[in-house]
Amino acid sequence: MGKRNFSKRVSYRTSDAMSKFVLAQDPETISFAGGLPDNNLFPVEELKHAYEEVLRTEGNLAFQYTSTCGDIKLRELVGKNLFKRWNKTIPADNIVLTEGSQQALDLLGKLFLDDGDIALIEEPGYLGTIQAWSMYSDNLIGIPQDEYGIDTDYLEEKLKELKDLIKVLYVVPDFSNPAGTCLEIKRRLKLVELSEKYNFYIVEDLAYSLLSYDHETYPPLVTLSDSNKIITIGSFSKILSPGLRTGFIIAPKDITQIIVRLKEGTDLCSGTLNQKLIYHFYKLGYLEKHVEKLRVAYRTKRDSLKKALDEKFKDIAKWNFPQGGFFFFLVFPEWVDAYKLAETALEQKTSFVPGEEFFVSKRGKNTARISFSQVSPEKMAEGIKRLHIAWELYKEKEEVFL
Ligand X SMILES: Cc1ncc(COP(=O)(O)O)c(C=O)c1O
Residues at the interface with ligand X (CB under 6 A): 35, 100-102, 126, 128, 172, 177, 205, 207, 235, 237, 242, 247
Residue with nearest beta carbon to ligand X: 100
Residue 246 CB, shortest distance to ligand X, in Å, is 8
* 350 SS3 class: strand
Residue 310 CB, shortest distance to ligand X, in Å, is 25
Whole-angstrom CA distances from 322 to 151, 173, 176 are: 18, 13, 9
Query: Which of residues 234 and 388 has its CB atom nearest to ligand X in the complex?
Result: 234
Q: Which residues pair with 318 in a beta bridge?
A: 331
C-beta separation of 107 from 87 below 8 A:
no
* 74 SS3 class: helix
Query: Which of residues 171 and 192 has its CB atom nearest to ligand X in the complex?
Result: 171
Residue 233 CB, shortest distance to ligand X, in Å, is 7
C-beta separation of 390 from 398 below 8 A:
no
CA angle 373, 328, 178 (to 5 degrees): 90
Strands 166-171 and 201-205: parallel
Query: Which of residues 295 and 385 has its CB atom nearest to ligand X in the complex?
Result: 295
Query: Which of residues 126 and 281 has its CB atom nearest to ligand X in the complex?
Result: 126
Residue 129 CB, shortest distance to ligand X, in Å, is 7
Query: Which of residues 68 and 237 has its CB atom nearest to ligand X in the complex?
Result: 237
Query: Which of residues 108 and 159 has its CB atom nearest to ligand X in the complex?
Result: 108
* 150 SS3 class: strand
CA angle 201, 84, 292 (to 5 degrees): 105
CA 56, CA 18: separation in Å to the nearest integer?
40
Task: Assign residue 307 a region (left: φ > 0; alpha: ψ between -120 and 50; beta: otherwise).
Answer: alpha
Residue 112 CB, shortest distance to ligand X, in Å, is 17
Residue 325 CB, shortest distance to ligand X, in Å, is 8
